[in-house]
């Protein structure tokens, strides 16, 4: 033993030892694509993770996206990474904060290690997240920031100020393109309790305010916001009665725009005379764009957001610090006055000119569903086959 210890023969290098650890994939938000291929890089990490991933979605009415896109895309992302049906659970609260609370408690009691929370309102969301964190569950805000939630949580969404800028610039371009004389613009916001609605408004007001200030446009009003289409329709009718010169409206999503457009059609307003805007690239929104009642929509490829959220959850489930290449942004929580570590994916403004190359190409909408009835000829003109 003494001879061995005093020998000058070099010992084995640590890199040649048989005990090695699996490299943690360094994904970026830009790695995610429509074929979900990037998720396959997480299969080893998914095998290391423990506990269930619980997903809490808010409703089926304020936007059709949660049923139509989010739930199936999240499922596809988890499965592409190798998770089985017992490793994740996706619930929709159907508009009830109490239901979401019950769903969250069920997930925690079932041994969830990560919760993705898309809250109905910040207060109920923060309560859910506080209870989850107290139970040792990692928390991710999905799509909407839960202001007042735990300081060490994560947030996955699109750059929502940029979403608002696209809406605002889309309105400006459309007012010019449709030759709207003396633009009298009504600004309609989303629900003020939703932090995203505030960020959207920050974006589009930043584009529109200079137009209002220099007199190019006249702002006729900005009533209390909502995400409920029936309320949006009533509000619009009231505003139109009070300001009959109104000839353009900034609507914050496709469902509210569709409610406004129903009023315009009832009033006999022809196509390409009264601009509206939107987001979510919903089927009604896309059809309204093709038929000339909506200027455009912000397409938020939800398959990108779903993959980013699923990937982040898989890192956390495996006890790994998510890479800075993925968590490359921060979002201000105005209640905590803290920056929340965030993952942003990129939105796109969609008009008839690029609809075929974006939402149709991505398979976000089926041509057979889109190009029906009087929309068929508009599809042909837009090169959608």
Q: pLDDT (tens digit, 9 = 90+) per residue, 225-260?
A: 999 999 999 999 999 999 999 999 999 999 999 999
Alpha-carbon torsion angle 33, 35, 37, 38, nearest 10: 20
Instruction: Tell me how far apart the alpha carbons of residues 220 and 49 are, in angstroms, rounded to a whole number.
Output: 54
Domain contains 3: no
Shared domain check, 374 and 265: yes
Shared domain check, 366 and 235: yes
The two three-digit tokens of residue 327, written as one number: 């968590």
Identify the helix (H) or strand (E) that includes residue 80.
helix 71-80
Shared domain check, 200 and 173: yes
Domain extent, residue 327, equals: 37-158+301-346
Shared domain check, 353 and 258: yes
Q: What is the pLDDT of residue 65?
A: 82
Provide the β-strand partners of residue 22: none
Residue 55 Cα distances to 67, 82, 87, angstroms: 13, 17, 11
> What 3-state DSSP class applies to 253?
coil
Interhelix angle 97-109/122-134, rounded to 10 degrees, is: 10
Backbone angles phi, psi at 93, to 5 degrees: -80, -5
> How many Cβ atoms are within 10 Å of 79's Cβ, its own excluded?
16
Shared domain check, 60 and 116: yes
Identify the helix (H) or strand (E) that includes residue 154.
strand 154-158
Shared domain check, 374 and 259: yes
Domain contains 48: yes
Domain contains 17: no
Farthest-apart Cα atoms in the chain, separation: 101
> How many Cβ atoms are within 10 Å of 212's Cβ, its own excluded?
15
Q: What is the pLDDT of residue 5?
A: 34
Shared domain check, 326 and 184: no
> What 3-state DSSP class applies to 10?
coil
Domain contains 27: no
Interhelix angle 229-242/254-266, rounded to 10 degrees, is: 50
CATH number of residue 229's parent domain: 3.40.50.2300
Task: Let me know how many helices (H) and strands (E) the chain has, helices first.
Answer: 14, 12
Shared domain check, 138 and 47: yes
Backbone angles phi, psi at 339, to 5 degrees: -90, 130
Domain contains 119: yes
Shared domain check, 364 and 249: yes
Domain contains 18: no
- With tokens 């920031």, the residue in question is 145
Shared domain check, 311 and 250: no
Q: What is the pLDDT of residue 1?
A: 29
Q: What is the pLDDT of residue 22?
A: 60
Domain contains 12: no
Shared domain check, 226 and 310: no
Residue 116, judged by CB atoms within 10 A of its CB (0-12, 13-18, 19+), counts as: buried
The two three-digit tokens of residue 110, written as one number: 């079932």
Nearest to 92 by CA among 70, 122, 114, 123: 70
Q: Which residues of the chain have pLDDT under 50?
A: 1-21
Domain contains 8: no
Number of domains in the chain: 2
> How many Cβ atoms are within 10 Å of 339's Cβ, its own excluded?
13
> What 3-state DSSP class applies to 62?
coil
Shared domain check, 177 and 70: no
């Amino acid at each position: 033993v003494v001879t061995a210890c005093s020998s000058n023969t070099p010992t084995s290098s640590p890199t040649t030892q048989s005990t090695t650890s699996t490299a943690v994939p360094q994904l970026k938000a830009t790695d995610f694509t429509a074929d979900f291929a990037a998720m396959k890089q997480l299969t080893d990490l998914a095998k290391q993770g423990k506990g269930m991933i619980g997903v809490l979605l808010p409703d089926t009415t304020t936007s059709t996206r949660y049923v139509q896109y989010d739930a199936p895309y999240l499922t596809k992302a988890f499965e592409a990474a190798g998770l089985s049906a017992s490793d994740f659970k996706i619930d929709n609260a159907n508009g009830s904060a109490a239901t979401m609370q019950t769903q969250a408690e069920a997930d925690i009691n079932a041994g969830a290690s990560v919760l993705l929370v898309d809250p109905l309102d910040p207060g109920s969301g923060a309560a859910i997240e506080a209870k989850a964190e107290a139970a040792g569950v990692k928390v991710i805000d999905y799509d909407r920031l839960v202001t007042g939630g735990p300081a060490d949580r994560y947030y996955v969404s699109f750059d929502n100020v940029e979403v608002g800028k696209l809406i605002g610039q889309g309105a400006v371009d459309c007012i010019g393109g449709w030759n709207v004389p003396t633009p009298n613009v009504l600004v309609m916001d989303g629900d003020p309790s939703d932090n995203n609605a505030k960020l959207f408004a920050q974006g589009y007001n930043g584009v529109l305010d200079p137009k209002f200030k220099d007199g190019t446009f006249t702002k006729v009003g900005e009533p209390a916001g909502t995400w409920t289409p029936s309320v949006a329709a009533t509000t619009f009718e009231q505003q139109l009665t009070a300001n009959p010169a109104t000839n353009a409206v900034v609507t914050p999503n496709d469902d509210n725009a569709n409610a406004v457009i129903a009023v315009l059609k009832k009033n006999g307003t022809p196509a390409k005379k009264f601009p509206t805007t939107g987001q979510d690239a919903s089927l009604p929104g896309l059809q309204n764009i093709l038929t000339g009642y909506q200027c455009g929509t912000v397409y938020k490829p939800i398959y990108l957001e779903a993959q980013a959220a699923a990937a982040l959850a898989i890192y956390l489930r495996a006890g790994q610090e998510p890479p800075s290449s993925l968590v490359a942004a921060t979002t201000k929580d105005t209640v905590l006055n803290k920056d929340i570590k965030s993952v942003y994916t990129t939105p796109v403004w969609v008009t008839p000119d690029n609809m075929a190359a974006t939402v149709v190409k991505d398979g976000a909408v089926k041509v057979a569903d889109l190009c029906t009835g009087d929309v068929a000829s508009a599809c042909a003109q837009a090169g959608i086959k």
